[in-house]
Amino acid sequence: MEKENSKKELEQFEKTLAEIERLGENEKTRKEIEDLRKKISELKKKILSELTPWQRTKLARHENRPYSLDYIERLFTDFEEIHGDRKYADDPAIIAGFGFYKGIPVVVIGQQKGRNLKERQHRNFGMPQPEGYRKAIRVMKMAEKFGKPIFTFIDTPGAYPGIGAEERGQAEAIAYNLREMAKLKVPIISNVIGEGGSGGALGIGVSNRILMLENAIYSVISPESCSAILWKDQEHIKEAAENLKLTSKDLFEFGIVDEVVKEPEGGAHNDHDLAAKFLDEAMERHLKELMKLSGDELVEDRYKKFRKMGVIAGE
């Protein structure tokens, strides 16, 4: 209800602003225009902060939302992709490669969705096969060998559930990554940029720092599947989304993400450059801190981070 009011108010302000602007800017109207613009910006922020978890889920999946490659393009120089797991195949749903972050040699891993139908099919809708996880850990181990920091970009509905994926050990691939990432003696920073879909997301997410975009989600299961399993229908998706506590605010409160990164007005899809700029600022700060730690300290730091996750009683 309150949200409806905010929207109506916003429409009213925008209408007034348009009218005044039509009259042309002069000494008299300048202040009025400025005030109105400020009010509109504040209202937009308010509306965004009032989004329900399900609305945020839809924003996290927005088709114009910046994907891993959009950030890689903007944040790294001389990026070169590294393909294949050297065992079976190359999985286009996970991108791996090396490049430079403000002159620092780094390894980048990211789940990649497609922008149009052809791309989406090529990227398997961002759902990795076991080979994607195996490529990721292979390249991360190379980063460790040469002492280079690692950035990962998390954006997947989940690991692909298919016959071939099961035959080739989807579970083993993720399980192995969880254990091996815990051992790596280099800084790892994960950025949850869109959908953090369960084990498929975590498979590249055992990091020293987890940064999460304001409208990204991170969940054990999608609201749709949760509704199907627990309510046995598709009528309770919104309720499931609320129960699952999958928003950046929730994850920050439960001590899982280290920082919530703000997005451009209305969401990251409205301005890819600005979204990248906001993320860049946080990445730089965290990398600087982690670069002070030794390899053993980084492993210990990561252990402590995950060791305290969970809520229990009855000690």
Partner 1 sequence: MAFFRRKKFKNGLREKKRVVTDGQFTKCENCNTTFWKKDLEENLMVCPQCGYHFKIYSLDRLKMLFDDEKFEEFDEHLYSPDPFNFVDKKAYKDRLKDMEAKTGIKDAVRCAKGKIGGYDAIVVALEYRFIGGSMGSVVGEKITRMVEKSLELKIPLIIVSASGGARMMEGVLSLMQMAKINSALARLDEAGIPFISVLTDPTTGGVTASFAMVGDLNIAEPGALIGFAGPRVIEQTIRQKLPEGFQRSEFLLRHGMLDAIVDRRNLKEYIVRALKFFLTDAKK
Q: Which residues bind partner 1 (CB under 8 A)?
A: 159-163, 165-172, 174-176, 178-180, 182-183, 196, 198-199, 202-203, 205-206, 218-221, 225-226, 229-231, 236, 239-240, 243-246, 250-251, 254, 256, 302-303, 306-307, 309-315
The span from the CA of 315 to the CA of 297, in Å, is 29
Least distance between partner 1 and beta carbon 133 (Å)? 10
Least distance between partner 1 and beta carbon 9 (Å)? 32
Enumerate the β-bridge partners of residue 282: none
Least distance between partner 1 and beta carbon 244 (Å)? 5
Least distance between partner 1 and beta carbon 167 (Å)? 5
Contact 93, 124 (CB under 8 A): yes
Contact 132, 88 (CB under 8 A): no
Residue number, 118 or 308, with CB nearest to partner 1: 308
Contact 147, 186 (CB under 8 A): yes
Residue number, 221 or 274, with CB nearest to partner 1: 221
Contact 72, 108 (CB under 8 A): yes
The structure tokens 């969705």 sit at 113
| Number of other CB atoms surrounding residue 229 within 10 Å | 10
Residue number, 106 or 192, with CB nearest to partner 1: 192
The span from the CA of 87 to the CA of 93, in Å, is 17
Instruction: Give the residue among 217, 84, 240, 247 at the shortest CA–CA distance from 157.
Output: 217
Residue number, 99 or 128, with CB nearest to partner 1: 128
| Number of other CB atoms surrounding residue 86 within 10 Å | 11
The structure tokens 């800017």 sit at 25
Contact 240, 231 (CB under 8 A): yes
Instruction: Give the residue among 216, 215, 222, 233 at the shortest CA–CA distance from 200.
Output: 222
Residue number, 146 or 306, with CB nearest to partner 1: 306
Least distance between partner 1 and beta carbon 136 (Å)? 14
The span from the CA of 226 to the CA of 15, in Å, is 42
Least distance between partner 1 and beta carbon 236 (Å)? 8
Residue number, 250 or 271, with CB nearest to partner 1: 250
The span from the CA of 180 to the CA of 189, in Å, is 15
Contact 112, 95 (CB under 8 A): yes
Residue number, 53 or 99, with CB nearest to partner 1: 53
Least distance between partner 1 and beta carbon 314 (Å)? 4
Kindly state the tokens that stand for 109.
């891993």
Residue number, 211 or 276, with CB nearest to partner 1: 211
Least distance between partner 1 and beta carbon 305 (Å)? 9
